[in-house]
A and B are shown apart, each in its own frame.
Chain A
Amino acid sequence: MVNITINGKLVQAYEDEMLLTAIRRENIDIPALCHHEAVEPYGACRLCMVEITKDEWDGWKNHVTSCLYPVEEGLIVNTHTPTVIELRKTILDLFLAGSPRSTVIRKLAAEYGVTKTSYEEVPDGTDCILCGLCTRVCDKMGFSAISAVNRGHGKEIAPPLNEPPPDCVGCLSCAYICPTRYIKFTDDGKTRKIWGRKFKLLHCEKTGQPTITEEFARYLVKNRQIPEDYFKINDLSHRKELALKMGEITQWGREE
């Protein structure tokens, strides 16, 4: 454990954890749009920036993204200094200029007193704030079906060559993790459409309920050693039985 001071309060944090985790444990509200515990921290939205210093730094202060900064013994953290608040305000103002219709951005900006952007609205601005959560989660799932393309102000998230991505399995992880709900998909119980691709859904043999896409099921069977018949019946008792079997596999079968 390491000792750090957050907003004047001495707290203990786990070694190797990031500052943001320690701060949030203290129930201090700091915004972060590109952060999710499921994936590696990224540091793109800059909203979680805080001021840090140490006694031995002779008054020198630094501003760091708390999602990426590992806790250190003796760190003195201030999460709401005037500069930090000004910074968050500016960032939200800039986000608002790019995504003026996003309810998530508008709500967050309003919390910091920004109801209308003071900058020029970006022509053809979208709700995508380039937080990179979708690409990171897609990478982590093992698909890497979408990626950031171009750079600078023309950066966007897209499948390769802007064509329906061959590596996508329609798992919807990207859409679910998107903080502004920008990634759209449709699902009518038979087919699912996302990123310009169409996926056929599997259905429970017993209840006829849709489960997951064929491609996703195939992937899980192949790469995660999930039994093939797991997706055939969407029934709890059946699943439990299979899950136990899977437990055996993970415990004994996948050791090497």
Chain B
Amino acid sequence: MQISTPKQLKELQQKFQDKDNKLVKKIIVCHGPGCLASGAEKIFEEFQQVLSKKKIKGVTLEALKKTGCHGLCEKAPLVAIEPAGILYTRVKPRLVEDIIEKTVKNDEVIPELLYQDPETKKRVEKYRDIKFYSHQTRIALRNLGHINTADIEDFIRVGGYQAMAKAITKMTPERIIDEVTKSGLRGRGGGGFSTGRKWATCRKVKDDTHYVICNGDEGDPGAFMDRAIMEGDPHSVLEGMIIAAFAVGARSGYIYVREEYPLAVVNLQIAIEQAREYGLLGESIFGTDFSFDIQINRGAGAFVCGESSALMKSVAGEVGEPRAKYIRSVVKGLYDKPTVLNNVETFANVPVIIDRGAKWFTGIGAPKNSGTKAFSLVGKVRNTGLIEVPMGTSLREIIYDIGGGLIDGRPFKAVQTGGPSGGCLPDSLLDSPVDFDSLTKAGSMMGSGGMIVMDDRTCMVDVAKYFLSFLVSESCGKCNPCREGLYQLYKLAVKVSEGRAEEDDLEKMEKLSDMIIIGSLCGLGKSGPNPFLSTVRYFREEYLAHIKEKKCPAGVCRELIRFEINDKCDGCTACILACAYNAITGKKKEPHVINQDLCTHCGACVTVCTRNAIDVI
């Protein structure tokens, strides 16, 4: 099936829509990362079996959809019944028959499976009424939870590849670039550079070869936005890339996918083959002289290869080390040819901008930060999951309305944004808007969109230590300030957390951080001290408590804490059983005692104690 004109594409869309309209109901089985991990495949199989046995009018096997991430990963696995929009949470295979019998066949809702509002304790029938969903605006994630993963028919049905058809047959490259520039779209990988300007510069470079690269090397701990898009809606990424290629004059493109995302590779590969089969990739697309094809490159597990110049080296088969970008990669990139590199989410935004126009796009978001941003909301928040909000939404709205507040109603302490080299923001900044410029001003950064919420039981020195250790092992090791400087900064953070630091060590750390920022070769090193700088900026007293009083106020740093059993102990012996070091002694129904010499501060006793009888001092 080769599509050679936009008209054919429209006809095809109509055909798929007609087919779809015949379905009275749709059963959406989320196949996002969270749901897959919780057994979505088994649920899907169960639905298949039950559905093929039962005959329900207007509900064939085609009504069953395997979609990308629906969003509310906390309640995985998720099943939604459309068009009613009923969302079932924590679904188990044994409940499938019930769902079909009651909800699909008889329109009867099963209350136990509905989402329960943590505040009002009320069950919410339709997911659009859940605050988690109602506060979101989905552009890049528009198709996730609605269409089959890697299914070109379903993608075309919802209007897929129409923007590309418009771009190639009705627009000039200059107009496309102009539209993207005017939309104010900024790089969603974290750089925040104007996508349109990047394309314009690349187009202007006179060369016989230009490249388009999609950066799918998402490596920030806790982040999975790009993964969800590549796995759940790979065609959107391809469509964005094809438009970019047409605009800059590229004939070949690469998608660089991180090693740890095998399903993304599979689904992207399926999508590429489908697009080739439909003539949307390959020679003479839409009968024009524009030809373009895409190839997938797999990373080998290095975080630093998400840095554009290291990524290009890795694609070329060299050691993934960044280079100095005094000559930018839009001028001299992959194989020294002008190259446009954008992130997955950026490309997923492009078709919508071409389709609906720059003006529409700038109407969403904040000044100079138009559009939306996808985040993976994780940590100590009730509704962890994949979200997309207009730029400028406050942290409070994200954490409390969408996220549903903190688990167990514990006090909020900090939110970490921007990945490992981002920063931690305190509660005084909860009302600040989330956009590129505001986050940078606050000492953090947008990064690719990881957002980790922390409660009062988190030690900020420990957090800084964790992220620094991540960067020490993930630095490429090429330049001295990043390799040796971050290592020493980490060592000093360890010294603080172990209570061995002096007060002037903080000053030493700040000075060293300044030098790492000035001296490092690439963005990883230049932002590497951020975990320390942002925590010391907003939580200095916590550092000082470790240094002066030799105490960890949050009760985390093992060298500075002691576990003691208080008089609430009723002698249940649970902690004695839990302690692997035989550090706890005591008779049944008599208060127990911890032998401090044997205690390793592992915390197992605290976890099992049901009476809050163990104090962390």
Q: List residues of A whose CB falls within 8 A of some B CB.
A: 42-46, 49, 63-65, 68-70, 83, 86-87, 90-91, 94-95, 97-98, 118-120, 122, 129-130, 132, 147-148, 150-155
Contact check, A152 vs B483: say whether CB atoms are below 8 A apart: yes
A63 to B484, CA, bound (A): 19
| 29 intermolecular pairs with C-beta atoms under 8 Å apart | A43-B323, A43-B521, A44-B478, A46-B480, A46-B519, A46-B520, A46-B521, A49-B519, A63-B518, A64-B326, A65-B521, A69-B324, A70-B326, A87-B518, A90-B519, A94-B484, A94-B488, A122-B484, A148-B321, A151-B473, A151-B476, A152-B473, A152-B475, A152-B477, A153-B472, A153-B473, A153-B484, A155-B476, A155-B483
| B333 interface residue (CB < 8 Å to A) | no
For the complex, give the distance between the alpha carbons of A61 and B477 in Å.
26
> Inside 8 A of B519's CB, which chain A residues have their CB?
46, 49, 63, 87, 90-91
Q: Is the CB of B487 within 8 A of A122?
A: yes
Binary per-residue interface labels of chain B (322-345) against chain A in the complex, 1 for a CB within 8 Å, 0 otherwise? 011011000000000000000000
Partner of A130, one of B326, B478, B488, B515: B478
Q: Are A98 and B477 in contact (CB under 8 A)?
A: no
Partner of B479, one of A44, A70, A147: A44
Minimum CB–CB distance for A87 against chain B, Å: 5
Assess whether B488 is in contact with A120, with CB atoms less than 8 Å apart. Answer: yes
B contact set with A: CB distance below 8 Å: 302, 304, 319, 321, 323-324, 326-327, 472-481, 483-485, 487-488, 491, 508, 511-512, 515, 518-521
CB distance from A249 to the nearest CB of B (A): 31
Interfacial chain A residues near B515, Cβ < 8 Å:
86-87, 90-91
Separation of A167 and B508 alpha carbons in the complex (Å):
45
Closest B residue by C-beta to A41: B324
Shortest Cβ distance from residue A54 to the other chain B in the assembled complex, whole angstroms: 14
> B-side binding surface: helix, strand, loop or mixed?
helix
6 closest cross-chain pairs (CB), A and B = A155-B477, A94-B484, A90-B515, A152-B473, A119-B488, A68-B324
Within the assembled complex, what's the spacing in Å between the Cα atoms of A41 and B312? Answer: 18
Inter-chain contacts of B477 with A (CB < 8 A): 130, 148, 150-155
Q: Provide the bound-state CA to CA distance between A120 and B479, in Å.
A: 19
* CA–CA, A94 and B515, complex, Å: 11
Among A42, A44, A46, A69, residue most surrounded by chain B Cβ atoms (within 10 Å): A46
- Given contacts A49-B518, A153-B473, list 17 more A-B pairs with CB under 8 A: A45-B479, A46-B481, A69-B324, A86-B515, A90-B519, A91-B480, A91-B481, A94-B485, A98-B484, A119-B488, A147-B319, A148-B321, A148-B478, A151-B477, A153-B484, A153-B487, A155-B477
A46 to B483, CA, bound (A): 12
Q: Which residues of A contact B518 (CB under 8 A)?
A: 49, 63, 83, 87
In-complex Cβ contact of B488 among A64, A86, A97 (8 A): A97
Asked if residues B319 and A130 are in contact (CB atoms below 8 Å), the reply is: no
Q: Report the minimal beta-carbon distance from B500 to chain A, rounded to whole angstroms.
A: 11
B521: chain A residues at CB < 8 Å are 43-44, 46, 65
Q: Establish whether residues A118 and B508, one from each chain, have CB atoms under 8 Å apart when the complex forms.
A: yes
Q: Which of A68, A119, A153 has the most CB of B within 10 A?
A: A153
Bound-state CA distance A87–B515 (Å) is 6
Q: Are B481 and A130 in contact (CB under 8 A)?
A: no
CB neighbours (8 Å) of B488 from chain A are 94, 97, 119-120
> How far in angstroms is the closest Cβ of chain A from B299?
12
Least distance between A86 CB and chain B CB atoms (Å)? 7
Return A137 CB to nearest CB of chain B, in Å.
15
